[in-house]
Structure 1
């Protein structure tokens, strides 16, 4: 699958890499935030001690920055997209050529998984579609 990045996303990835030393795999840009997909195992370096590195990126870009850790398996990837919600299980179901990820989340973390105005689950949907051809992400 070929990933197409906008010029703006490429610029943000370059700025992120310059500040953190971590080269994101992908970047989603919204009006007031950027979501970076961080290579597996590099989340600590991307965040920095006490969040200082990600704070520096936010200051550089002038917007909120959210980070998602990449994964090789679709279920793990979807779970990472919904962090810090406690994901119990992810089940992938394909019917009629459409793939849906059904996510079981602790009841106390449903709000975290959905996010303000549905922001977190929508980010999970967009990233899952871009990286694993998953058509929808739903809380079970």
Structure 2
């Protein structure tokens, strides 16, 4: 699937890759934060020792930074997008629409949803961009 990046997103990815020595495959910027999708296996490099690279990136950008690790499957990607919530299982159902059902620990549903629904909305947007998933439902 081809992902279209805005000029701002491309510029933010360049800053990310310079600051972290990791590769980003997608970027969702907004006024308060930037969400990066990091190539699978490069999350440690992106975070840095004790979060040092993320902190430096946040200082450079003047915004908070959220990292999501890429995955080869829709199920793995949705689980990563809902992190740090504990996701036990993800099932993708394809009927008229494609819906990912994510089994999340009861005590982590608030984390998966996020303040004002920001986490679940970001997960939905990323899942749509990367795997043509129309919706994510928490179970």
Q: Shorter-normalised TM-score: what interval? A: over 0.9
TM-score, normalising length: structure 1? 0.97
CA contact (8 A) 2:23 2:42 kept: no
Residue matched to 1:74: 74
Residue matched to 1:118: 117
- Consecutive unaligned residues in structure 2, runs of 5 or more: none
Looking at structure 2, the residues matched to 137 and 41 of structure 1 have their Cα atoms a distance apart, in angstroms, of: 24
Looking at structure 2, the residues matched to 99 and 138 of structure 1 have their Cα atoms a distance apart, in angstroms, of: 11
Q: CA deviation at 1:2?
A: 1.2
CA RMSD in angstroms comes to: 0.6
Looking at structure 2, the residues matched to 4 and 94 of structure 1 have their Cα atoms a distance apart, in angstroms, of: 24
Looking at structure 1, the residues matched to 119 and 2 of structure 2 have their Cα atoms a distance apart, in angstroms, of: 24
Note the 1:1-140 alignment, pairs <5 A. Answer: 1-96=1-96, 98-140=97-139
CA contact (8 A) 1:34 1:64 kept: yes
Aligned residue pair count: 139
Cα displacement string for residues 61-110 of structure 1 (whole angstroms, at most 9, x for unaligned residues): 110000000000100100000011000111111112x1000111010000
- Consecutive unaligned residues in structure 1, runs of 5 or more: none
Looking at structure 2, the residues matched to 25 and 2 of structure 1 have their Cα atoms a distance apart, in angstroms, of: 11
Q: CA deviation at 1:126?
A: 0.4
TM-score, normalising length: structure 2? 0.98
CA contact (8 A) 1:14 1:23 kept: no
SS in 1 for 2:22: coil
Looking at structure 1, the residues matched to 54 and 89 of structure 2 have their Cα atoms a distance apart, in angstroms, of: 29
